[in-house]
Chains A and B, each alone.
Chain A
Amino acid sequence: MTADVRDHAAARAAPPTSHITAYRLGAVDAYAVGGPRKRVAVLRLSWDGGVATEPSQLLGAHAVAAHAVALSATGDGPAPLAECLESLGVTLTAGATETSSYLDLRGLREALPCALGMVLAVLRDPHIEEHAFQAALAAVRHGHGRRRHDIQARAGDALRAARCGPRSPLARTPDDVLAALAGLRCADIQQVAGGMAHRHLHAAVVGDRPEPYLAELATWAPADHAGEGASRPPVDAPPLVPDPPAQVTVAAPAPRQAGLLWGAVVPIDGPGDHAVLDLAMHALGGWSGARWHRLLREELGRTYGTVASVALVRYAGATLAVPRVFLSVAPSALASTTALLHRQAAGLHRRPLCAEELARAATHLVRTEAFYGDTARKLMDRTAPFIQAGLGPDFAGARLRELGTVDADRVAERLATLLRAPTLVVVSEGAAP
């Protein structure tokens, strides 16, 4: 039962995500994503350090530091770095994942290498002024405040707590971060920002040839840099709950909200496992050919749509995948849809994903890869999770190759292990907080 999509022309014309070149430049791991040059290119600079790896009293500190750097003055005058860059046609945004923080430079190709030089100059010797700290703190608080009221984020938090344990660093919530942010001082952020100058740097460029950036990045040479090993200390294997619950119910973050998230947190072993999960999730939800999407939207009208994804996080020496399908429903339809989804999930044993369903999902995933790579920003969003999860430059291409040849028996066999005991998170308007 092999459904082969390799004959499709789009699969033969490999999308840019399959061409990632890695460069080691002393204290920098740089990645260049292939494909044609874009009018607007994106460069991501990232460091290890996010809410899952920060001390509890400093949760969010790396995100605030990245933001504050963008709002800090350059050495050439009082104007903040972001303003200088925007005048060149380059925007700067700061962000964070569970285990890393980053700065994205997005701009005109001709201006971007120069902008990178300016950012590196500030990063080498950052001076975080109080007002930049306060503005950065407010912005990061704002982001976590919004996330606190996002139903999908609430469901994701509950899933991680159910699978990793409520005290796991991976289960830290916006409330945990907001509490820690209240205690942060400018001096804390100055220390974190100052530490960036001594840290291993990860850089990824999308939409342009890498040479001009590599030349700038090669100048990043912290005097006391101890090499890659120092930035990724080995730690204990990530604890996962041995018998996770089949269902957890959490309070909706706002009135008139309800939703369902079905998924798991599982360690994976390479691109083969990732492809299995990717295919399974996309065979169930996320597009009009998926089993649950057809049932819940097309046939029953219970939801506007289903969202399927496989998030990745590199934590405690392992690569964890978070495969999941989410749907928002009206509170009045929550009980019946919950029961229906339980039946559907249980029915996966009786009616496993068949070769045709998997082949459709594979074709959809592989062929739409080019669409999700037509701008540098989309391409960065597509590839950065692999890079930031520490999966290396070959992973994206290997994933596509795995997707290109689908064997339903192998998928069923591997899924039986990886998704042996999934969890359904019910986000209910009426649940006790």
Chain B
Amino acid sequence: MADTMPEPLAFSSAGGARAVLVPDPDDTLVAVSLRLATGSRHDPRHASGLAHVLEHLMFRGARRTGGGSHSHDVQAAGGYVNAKTSADWTKFIHVVPPELVAMVLDLEIERFTGAAGRFDPTDLDREKQVVLSERHQRMDGAPHGTAVERLVAALHPAPSAYHRLPIGVPEHVRAMTVDDCRRFYDDHYVAGRVNIVVAGAVTPAVSDHVARLLDAFPAGPAGSVQPVVAAQPEPETIRLQAPGRPRVYLALPLPPEGTWPFECARLAAFFLGRGMACRLGERLGRQLGLTAAVAVRTIGRAYGSSVGVVEATPADGVPPEKVVAAVETAIAEVVDGALDERDLRRAKAVYRLGWLSDMDSIDRRSDGLSLALQLTGSVDAYLRHDERIAAVSLADLHGAVRLWHQPPRLVELVYS
């Protein structure tokens, strides 16, 4: 494990696609992370889920020269392959031994060169079925699966581009056509929206392959970065029926991802709800006996309000309303001054632990580097994250907790 890494090597294509090689001589694997600045916020209003379906479709018919599917060819050679569509990004990730990097980059060149011309109705129908199965498994058929979907929709009312989650709604997915996919691909899979990070046991020898991959994307602009309509919801309570113990979700808008206030809000989330000794767990669970579990997390949105979520499971016999009130009280106590250097030390230590753990994980590291490249134009922000968090003061943390206590702030989702 190297404590310092060699200097990253950055370059770009004539069309505006960017790439950075971030070598670490102690790594034994290489991660290739390809990020497109397109996601569900670009879905047409009546075709929610299109960016996600297209991400799936990119694994079909990707081979121009025969062979199996893209996933199969990479996995059969011993690589890890995955992809993810979020509100702002579409990401394709590979983790492979160094000797397979050139092969993977060549497969990517093949996949992204003239891809729209290979889209096929049969492939699309199959992938639509897979996406509907994914939605069923993760959301419709999961007891609490739709909670986040309802919360995000409530915090970003229609017609906000963040109103729908990337998974989309089934009737929209069923109605998608190959032409829809081709239009979306032509509009959004363009050089100005592409960045590639190759991290780990990488050598400059792969630069030529990376440059050719950048050139696989036709010239096109970076696209709109105009802010999505800011979330200003009225407090609202949504009650859903689900089996099992009741659960409560509180959601509130946070600053956009990539900003310093958002990072501070994340640190506050670690203070409030990460670890066995987090403030909400300690106060609501150990001291008051009101909750069986508490978690706090952030859902990043780069061009509008991010979403903060407090998720709490009441202890036996405790009404959810009492837990909601206790969460508000516990956060209010912090805002009123129940915060000291010891809290700051714990929050920073747990936060730093998470960041260093991501640094160990080659796919998460490449993803973090790629996000920094996209949002700031450089990977430095990610590599220097440790220093920035170390500089957070008690006043910074106090201000960040205030972000979790601002009206209008609550959407309550109470299961029973």
Residues of A within 8 A of B (CB): 8-10, 13, 36-40, 70-71, 79-80, 82-83, 86-93, 106-108, 131-132, 134-135, 138-139, 141-142, 145-146, 148-149, 151, 207, 253-258, 287-289, 294, 297-304, 328-330, 360, 363-364, 366-368, 370-371, 374-378
Q: With an 8 A cutoff between CB atoms, is B282 at the interface? A: yes
Contacts A80-B277, A302-B129, A376-B360; is A131 near B289 (CB within 8 Å)? Answer: yes
Contact residues in B for A88 (Cβ distance below 8 Å): 349
A108 touching B353 by the CB < 8 A rule? yes
Contact residues in B for A375 (Cβ distance below 8 Å): 357, 360-361
Tell me the complex Cα distance, A142–B244, Å: 10
Tell me the complex Cα distance, A360–B76, Å: 6
Tell me the complex Cα distance, A237–B118, Å: 59
Tell me the complex Cα distance, A10–B79, Å: 10
Tell me the complex Cα distance, A303–B137, Å: 8
A256 touching B289 by the CB < 8 A rule? no
Give which listed residue, B1, B137, B276, contacts A92 with CB less than 8 A.
B276
Tell me the complex Cα distance, A55–B211, Å: 64
Q: With an 8 A cutoff between CB atoms, is B394 at the interface? A: no
Contacts A106-B353, A149-B244; is A141 near B286 (CB within 8 Å)? Answer: no
B interface size (C-beta, 8 A): 65
Q: From DSSP, what is the main secondary structure of chain A's interface residues? A: mixed
Contact residues in A for B10 (Cβ distance below 8 Å): none
A366 touching B78 by the CB < 8 A rule? yes
A-B contact pairs, 26 of them (CB 8 A): A80-B276, A80-B277, A82-B276, A88-B349, A106-B357, A138-B293, A142-B292, A142-B313, A145-B245, A146-B244, A253-B143, A254-B143, A254-B242, A254-B243, A258-B141, A301-B133, A303-B133, A328-B133, A328-B136, A364-B78, A366-B78, A367-B79, A368-B80, A370-B29, A371-B80, A374-B361
Tell me the complex Cα distance, A139–B285, Å: 9
Contact residues in B for A131 (Cβ distance below 8 Å): 286-287, 289
Tell me the complex Cα distance, A303–B132, Å: 9
Tell me the complex Cα distance, A43–B125, Å: 47
Q: What residue in chain A is nearest B350 (Cβ atoms)?
A: A86
A368 touching B78 by the CB < 8 A rule? yes
Give which listed residue, B143, B286, B313, contacts A149 with CB less than 8 A.
B143
Contacts A86-B276, A304-B137, A363-B78; is A39 near B346 (CB within 8 Å)? Answer: no
Contacts A139-B292, A371-B80; is A91 near B286 (CB within 8 Å)? Answer: no
Q: What residue in chain A is nearest B349 (Cβ atoms)?
A: A89
Contact residues in A for B360 (Cβ distance below 8 Å): 38-40, 207, 374-376
Tell me the complex Cα distance, A376–B130, Å: 33
Q: With an 8 A cutoff between CB atoms, is B306 at the interface? A: no
A40 touching B356 by the CB < 8 A rule? yes
Contact residues in B for A330 (Cβ distance below 8 Å): 132-133, 136, 141
Q: With an 8 A cutoff between CB atoms, is B127 at the interface? A: yes
Type the 1/0 row for B106-131, where 1 means its CB is closer than 8 Å to any CB of A: 00000000000000000001111110
Tell me the complex Cα distance, A13–B132, Å: 40
Q: What residue in chain A is nearest B278 (Cβ atoms)?
A: A86
A135 touching B99 by the CB < 8 A rule? no
Q: What residue in chain B is nearest A11 (Cβ atoms)?
A: B78
B366 CB to nearest chain A CB (Å)? 11
Given contacts A40-B353, A145-B313, 19 further A-B contacts (CB under 8 A): A79-B277, A80-B286, A86-B275, A91-B350, A139-B293, A141-B316, A142-B245, A256-B141, A294-B72, A303-B130, A303-B137, A304-B136, A329-B133, A330-B132, A364-B76, A370-B97, A371-B362, A371-B363, A375-B357
B76 touching A289 by the CB < 8 A rule? yes
Contacts A148-B244, A254-B243, A301-B126; is A39 near B1 (CB within 8 Å)? Answer: yes
Contact residues in A for B95 (Cβ distance below 8 Å): 371, 374
Give which listed residue, B97, B243, B276, B289, contacts A70 with CB less than 8 A.
B276
Q: What residue in chain B is nearest A297 (Cβ atoms)?
A: B130
Among B231-251, those with CB < 8 Å from A are 242-245
B345 CB to nearest chain A CB (Å)? 5
Contact residues in B for A367 (Cβ distance below 8 Å): 77-79, 97
A134 touching B289 by the CB < 8 A rule? yes
Contact residues in B for A89 (Cβ distance below 8 Å): 349-350, 352-353
Give which listed residue, B26, B68, B99, contacts A36 with CB less than 8 A.
B26
B78 touching A83 by the CB < 8 A rule? no
Tell me the complex Cα distance, A149–B142, Å: 9
Contact residues in A for B287 (Cβ distance below 8 Å): 131
Q: With an 8 A cutoff between CB atoms, is B169 at the interface? A: no
Contact residues in B for A40 (Cβ distance below 8 Å): 353, 356-357, 360
Type the 1/0 row for B259-287, where 1 means its CB is closer than 8 Å to any CB of A: 00000000000000001110000100111
Q: What residue in chain B is nearest A85 (Cβ atoms)?
A: B277
Tell me the complex Cα distance, A92–B129, Å: 41
Q: What residue in chain A is nearest B130 (Cβ atoms)?
A: A301
Contacts A131-B289, A254-B243, A368-B80; is A39 near B357 (CB within 8 Å)? Answer: yes
Q: With an 8 A cutoff between CB atoms, is B38 at the interface? A: no
B346 touching A86 by the CB < 8 A rule? yes
Q: With an 8 A cutoff between CB atoms, is B75 at the interface? A: yes
Q: With an 8 A cutoff between CB atoms, is B28 at the interface? A: yes
Q: With an 8 A cutoff between CB atoms, is B381 at the interface? A: no
Tell me the complex Cα distance, A95–B245, Å: 21
B133 touching A135 by the CB < 8 A rule? no
Contact residues in B for A139 (Cβ distance below 8 Å): 285, 292-293
Tell me the complex Cα distance, A146–B129, Å: 28
Tell me the complex Cα distance, A6–B72, Å: 21
Contact residues in B for A300 (Cβ distance below 8 Å): 126, 129
A135 touching B78 by the CB < 8 A rule? no
Contact residues in B for A83 (Cβ distance below 8 Å): 276-277, 282, 346
Tell me the complex Cα distance, A86–B132, Å: 41
B395 CB to nearest chain A CB (Å)? 20
B1 touching A37 by the CB < 8 A rule? yes
Tell me the complex Cα distance, A88–B316, Å: 33
Tell me the complex Cα distance, A304–B360, Å: 29
Tell me the complex Cα distance, A302–B137, Å: 11
A71 touching B137 by the CB < 8 A rule? no
Q: With an 8 A cutoff between CB atoms, is B140 at the interface? A: yes
Tell me the complex Cα distance, A312–B349, Å: 35
B139 CB to nearest chain A CB (Å)? 10
